[in-house]
Amino acid sequence: MKRLSIFALVALLATLCLGCKPAEFETNAYRTLVGAGAVYDVTMHSMADARSEGLITAEQYARGKVVARNFYALYHAARIALEEYVASGREATDSEAQRERILATLSSMALRLAELTDYLRQIGVPEQGAREVQNG
């Protein structure tokens, strides 16, 4: 259920980018990255805390790190694609192709983030950090 909600949130934000003016697209894409980054940070802190408290094994922690690296690579790919889009002046003839690349990367990133949170839930990592992000 939480996987669906995280994916839905990031996908919704990314979908809001479709048909936007260039500045709105940029703002929505950055907001998507910021939100996903915040969830990732809290998730990784929760996993590290669970490991230090002995709630998960070294093997479980290592597997979580592998899943996290998949998200992190896509996060940076989306960030770089967005930076290139902004640097191109947003009005370039290939801007639609750049938007589609950014949206595809954001969608893949959201799936990896959902995979990470699902894995941590499966191995029993506490979710106390989720409330911290929501309450800001």
Report the pLDDT value the prediction gives residue 100, as an integer from 0 to 100.
87
Q: Which tens digit of pLDDT belongs to each residue from 41-62?
A: 999 999 999 999 999 999 999 9
pTM: 0.76
Report the pLDDT value the prediction gives residue 22, as an integer from 0 to 100.
62
CA pair distance 121, 10, nearest whole angstrom: 19
Neighbour count for residue 96 (Cβ, 10 Å): 9
CA pair distance 105, 87, nearest whole angstrom: 18
Q: Which tens digit of pLDDT belongs to each residue from 83-130?
A: 988 888 766 656 788 888 898 999 899 899 999 999 999 998 886 544
Report the pLDDT value the prediction gives residue 4, as an integer from 0 to 100.
43
Report the pLDDT value the prediction gives residue 18, as an integer from 0 to 100.
54
CB 36 within 8 Å of CB 110: yes
What does CATH list as the number for 2-135? Answer: 1.20.120
Domain boundaries, the chain: 2-135
